[in-house]
Amino acid sequence: MLRATRVVAVVILPFLVVAAFLLYVVPDRTGELFAWAIDPPLSAYLLASAYVGGIWFFVRVAVERRWHRVQHGFPAVAVFAGALLVATLLHLDRFSPNLSFAVWMTLYATTPFAVVVLAIIQRRHAQRGPDPVDVEVPRFAALGLAAIGAAAFAFGAVVFAVPGFAASFWAWELTPLTGRVTGAVLSLTGVVNVALLWDRRWSAFRILFQAQLLSLAAICLSLLLRSTDLQWERPMTAVFLGLVAGAVVAYGGFTAWCEREARRIRP
């Protein structure tokens, strides 16, 4: 891992921590304390859940010694941050003229490009073979998880592109801006999982699936805390809850199996 990559991770981390704290602890004051007013709070919680996973990912980037263990997370960060930059530029009138927006704009105007440059530079330092103790992800699992990710990415792209249409059936109220943010959040798992099609080393995904499970846990907590924000009369609400539950089972079961196999072969 290059020093520049560690430095960028350390620089990004405080922003993620502060943003997650504000969105979870004071969601009713986002217009004053955050970059823009988010309503209902469940939309704030969903964005915070992505930051929770991001915190774990960048902590590991900051201390990790081998690039291949985090490399597949960088394209996901670039797509997510790039989507939020586009959403910001499309809805500048929705943002608050405060310090949080200045920080938000600076972060998302630089992060997509910084992580792409670092990923390109780091490629020459990537480990091609497995770790000394590693697990090969079964082909059926790789295909299944890649399909789940592709579906999430496609759905997120639709929500991002036509947020007004998504608002007509989504599980809670969406504005054009929160719709695009929701679409960006959904894109994360798709970009990560597609890499399983050409890299089936568990060591290359262990940290990423830990981050995704933390995000899922945060989403589950959000749904419990803000269940009153859900539009229970809409069919999408039951579908969304089922998909979240299914993702927890699928990702949790897959991670547990890989960890058990790694312990079994460890000398």
Tens-digit pLDDT profile for residues 43-69: 999 999 999 999 999 999 999 999 999
- Amino acid 151: pLDDT: 92
**Which amino acid would we find at residue 20?**
A
Q: What is the pLDDT of residue 126?
A: 84
pLDDT digits (tens, 9 = 90+) for 131-182: 988 999 999 999 999 999 999 999 999 999 999 999 999 999 999 999 999 9
Residues above pLDDT 70, as percent of the chain: 100
Residue 229: predicted pLDDT: 97
CA distance 18 to 25: 10
Residue 246 is predicted with a pLDDT of 94
Tokens of residue 267, six digits: 């000398």
The mean per-residue pLDDT over the stretch 206-235 comes to 96
In the structure encoding, which two tokens stand for residue 245, read together?
């539950």
Q: Is the pLDDT of residue 125 over 80?
A: yes
Q: Give yes or no for a contact between 54 and 79, defined as CB atoms under 8 angstroms apart.
A: no
**Is the bond into 40 cis (omega within 30 degrees of 0)?**
yes
**Domain ranges across the chain:** 3-265
pLDDT of residue 165: 95
Spatial contact of 31 and 169, defined as CB atoms under 8 Å apart: no
Taking CA atoms, 217 is separated from 52, 70, 211, 224, 263, in Å, by 9, 21, 10, 11, 24
The model's pTM: 0.95
Region 243-256 average pLDDT: 95
pLDDT tier at 265, thresholds 50, 70, 90:
confident
Q: 172, 143 in Cβ contact below 8 A?
A: no
Mean pLDDT of 228-245: 95
Q: Pick the closest to residue 241 from 256, 229, 253 (CA basis).
A: 229
pLDDT over 90 (residue 128): no
- Distances in Å between the alpha carbon of 22 and those of 9, 16, 41, 157, 211? 20, 10, 11, 27, 20
Taking Cα atoms as reference points, which of 199, 197, 200, 170 lies closest to residue 182? 170
Average pLDDT over residues 201-224: 97
Q: Which helix (H) or strand (E) holds 22?
A: helix 3-25
